Amino acid sequence: MRGSALIKIAMVMAVTFCILFSCGGEEGEKPQIQPLEIITNRLPEAVYGREYYFTLSATGGFQPYRWELVGKLPEGITFDSRNGVLSGTVKENARGSVFEIKLYDSQRKENPIPVIKRYTIKVISRSFVASEELEILTKNLPQAEHKAPYEVYLAATGGIPPYQWKMEGELPESIKFNGSKGLIKGVPQEVGIWQPAFSLSDVMGKEIAQKAELELIVKEKALVRGESFPPLKILTDKILPGIVGNRYAAYLSATGGAPPYHWKAESRLPEGINLNEKTGEISGIPAKSGKYELKFSARDERATTASTTSLTLQVLPPPINRVYPLKIITQSIPKAVKGKHYSIALSAQGGMLPYRWTCLTPLPSGITLDKRTGILSGTSQITGPYILKIELADSSTPPSAVWRKLNLVIEEPEEKGGFSLTTLIVILIGIGFIVALLGWISTLKGKKEIIDASKLEILTQELPPAQTGEQYCAVFTAKGGITPYLWDNENPLPPGFTIEKKRGALIGEPTEEHIGQHPIDIILYDSDSPSNKVYRHFILDVKPPETKIEKKVFTIVAREDKIFFEEFPPGSDNKLLVSSNDIGKKTSPFLTALRRIKAENKIGNTTWVIYCHTEYQSGVDVAFKAGEMAKELGINFYTVLKRPETS
């Protein structure tokens, strides 16, 4: 009885202490939670007709998150409000858009307050991306001689080079196949017939739809030399377009005759482009745009047969858009629990979509990485720490690639045990006294909050670059110690920059005199007595403003073989009628107007863009001819074709 009474008295005391002290400590602040923040700063550009997939990232607040789209996306792209994923295939007539994204956490069910961020998705033409289907051009393999050197390169087109070849079946002894080059090379040691099958994939992992089944015949030298060889024929009848400043690669292929072949360029190649006379590879970085008519010849080992072909290489100007550097923005990933499903979406920015994710180190059993979406998920039955080396590649040519190490910890699940009534009462009493004590301490501390008093640490690793003429703001983050924090700088800041000491924000508006790198040493104090402090060194990189190219736009409306220039450069008639018959004449109104503009020195660094609204091929031909004639006068022209607007 006495023991029971004591327990009741203890419980009453605990409740009393809770009411008196924890309620009296209401002026104390709640434990600090990192503010809700969308950490994705910009979205990659979309390409007409190509798949788009990007995951927005956020931090802080209480998960799970809820996303909301305010505005319209480019046609063909959709938004998943559950996980913040933008995905779809951009339609040909889609336009770029500006929209807002709202992010809600799970803290407030009623009248939640969102975080809002504005984004822009630009849509660029597919003409700057290789979009043709993969195709193997080699249809037959030349015959080989017994114990004689043999060397043949397989050829393909389409997709995004470089290619990776695969072979099924067998080749003669001492004949090897190089999958990265598509090269069959060696000295056959036996006669016979072999029938290997070949397939290939491009740099983004896209595979060819149908394999090429080829036949390799090895005969004795006497038989081969006594036979009449089939005529030497170049198989390549087209090559992909190139882009100024981007790496280019195409391959010439031939059949018949007696390999190996010797290739030769019979015409002048574009600046920056070279021909490998042994392999038939056309490669390099084109320096100037234009349409180049090229002629190539092939000669076999005996120099008894030869073949020539004419090909057109279209080198396009660089796209008028800015591609930001590829970067993995996921800094860390949460812990996993053995036997429980795990899922986290890795995030990136910059480069050219779509992305391709790869883990260069072994993943824990049961955990997989989706190469397309970057989602790390699965259920693992083992524990331990794992260091994952994640690589990200984009779709540029050649592709850009970056990597980052992430630590994945898989823990044992928490054990759930039962308690006796007496043990439960003791635990409740202990909890009551602890809560009462915290309330009393909170009352004494006032608005100082007690948080995890672990080691004080500045979490921010680096400062984002600043750009002259634009407002700059970078917020530092920290953990540990006792809040609130106080931020300061140890060395002088660049002129015009200040530190918001309570918020921990570096703000300012850099000018041209700030261009360069500036060392900044940041000090962080906590509210302990005496206060703890830590330092971190940063570099602020101030960059010059972006070079802006002035664009003057005029529109042409084409009807069959005539085009009307609705808006023409100053100094000419407002409307100018040009037909396909007189566009190339030196006395045409079009060229006369351009010469007058050039003579009056009104060109400068202006770039003119022709927007051609037409449904007639002849109108398209006139539009492109107009651009070519203007370029011959040294005027920078771009011709953009659009479908005619319907009322």
Greater model confidence, 226 or 199 = 199
Structure tokens at 69: 């789209």
Q: In total, how many domains does the chain have?
A: 4
Question: CB count, 10 Å around CB of 266?
Answer: 11
Amino acid occupying residue 84: G
Alpha-carbon distance of 622 to 612, in angstroms, equals 10
Q: Give the residue from 290, 316, 342 where a domain finishes.
A: 316
In three-state secondary structure terms, 500 is strand
pLDDT value at 60 more than 70: yes
Together in a domain, 235 and 101? no
Instruction: Return the closest-CA partner of residue 138 out of 29, 211, 230.
Output: 211
What is the per-residue pLDDT for 413? Answer: 87
Instruction: Return the closest-CA partner of residue 458 out of 388, 525, 553.
Output: 525
Task: Quote the strand ranges of 56-96, DSSP E.
Answer: 58-59, 66-70, 77-80, 85-89
Question: CB count, 10 Å around CB of 629?
Answer: 19
Together in a domain, 141 and 288? yes
Greater model confidence, 424 or 170 = 170
Summarize the confidence of residues 447-464 as an average pLDDT: 69
Together in a domain, 538 and 566? no
What digits encode the pLDDT tens for the residues 518-548? 888 899 999 888 888 898 989 888 888 754 4
Together in a domain, 575 and 461? no
Summarize the confidence of residues 100-118 as an average pLDDT: 84
Together in a domain, 166 and 55? no
Alpha-carbon distance of 547 to 560, in angstroms, equals 39
Summarize the confidence of residues 345-365 as an average pLDDT: 85
**Is position 426 within any domain?**
no
Residue pair 104/219 in contact by the 8 Å Cβ criterion: no
- CATH classification of the domain holding 65: 2.60.40.10
Phi, psi angle pair for 354, to nearest 5° = -80, 160
Together in a domain, 533 and 564? no
Q: Give the residue from 125, 159, 185 where a domain finishes.
A: 125
Greater model confidence, 251 or 292 = 292
What is the per-residue pLDDT for 646? Answer: 42
Q: Which residues of 341-373 are buried (b: 16+ CB within 10 A; e: fewer)?
A: ebebbbbbbbbbbbbbbebeeeebebbebebeb
Together in a domain, 194 and 297? yes
For the beta sheet containing 164-168, the strands, ordered from the edge strand earlier in sequence to the opposite edge, are: 164-168, 197-201, 212-213
Per-position DSSP letters for 606-622, written without gaps between them = -EEEEEEE-S-HHHHHH
**Is position 322 within any domain?**
no
**Is position 45 within any domain?**
yes
Residue pair 359/369 in contact by the 8 Å Cβ criterion: yes
The runs of H, that is alpha helices, within 119-250 are: 221-226
Summarize the confidence of residues 110-126 as an average pLDDT: 80
Summarize the confidence of residues 275-297 as an average pLDDT: 89
pLDDT value at 25 more than 60: no
Per-position DSSP letters for 518-574, written without gaps between them = EEEEEEEE-SSSSPPEEEEEEEEEEEPPPPPPPEEEEEEEEETTEEEESS--TTS-S
Average pLDDT score over the chain? 76
What is the per-residue pLDDT for 421? Answer: 61
641: confidence class by pLDDT, cuts 50, 70, 90: low
Residue span of the structural domain in which 89 resides: 36-125
pLDDT value at 104 more than 80: yes
Q: Which residues of 126-137 are buried (b: 16+ CB within 10 A; e: fewer)?
A: ebbbbeeebbbb
Categorise residue 180: left if φ over 0, alpha if ψ from -120 to 50, beta otherwise: alpha
What is the per-residue pLDDT for 598? Answer: 66
Percent of the chain surpassing pLDDT 70: 70
Together in a domain, 172 and 257? yes
What is the per-residue pLDDT for 201? Answer: 87
Alpha-carbon distance of 270 to 607, in angstroms, equals 23
What digits encode the pLDDT tens for the residues 434-447? 877 776 666 555 44
Instruction: Return the closest-CA partner of residue 297 out of 241, 231, 250, 252.
Output: 252
Together in a domain, 170 and 311? yes
What is the per-residue pLDDT for 100? Answer: 92
Summarize the confidence of residues 562-572 as an average pLDDT: 49
Report the length, in residues, of the chain: 647
Residues 6+ apart with CB under 8 A from 13: 432
Together in a domain, 187 and 304? yes
Summarize the confidence of residues 108-115 as an average pLDDT: 78
Alpha-carbon distance of 584 to 622, in angstroms, equals 9
112: confidence class by pLDDT, cuts 50, 70, 90: confident
For the beta sheet containing 637-642, the strands, ordered from the edge strand earlier in sequence to the opposite edge, are: 576-579, 562-565, 551-559, 607-613, 637-642
388: confidence class by pLDDT, cuts 50, 70, 90: very high
Instruction: Return the closest-CA partner of residue 623 out of 635, 633, 613.
Output: 613
Alpha-carbon distance of 201 to 164, in angstroms, equals 5
What is the per-residue pLDDT for 186? Answer: 92
Alpha-carbon distance of 422 to 334, in angstroms, equals 37
135: confidence class by pLDDT, cuts 50, 70, 90: confident
What is the per-residue pLDDT for 610? Answer: 57
**Is position 405 within any domain?**
no
- CATH classification of the domain holding 573: 3.30.420
Summarize the confidence of residues 379-396 as an average pLDDT: 89
In three-state secondary structure terms, 99 is strand
pLDDT-wise least confident of 292-301, 402-411, 542-551: 542-551
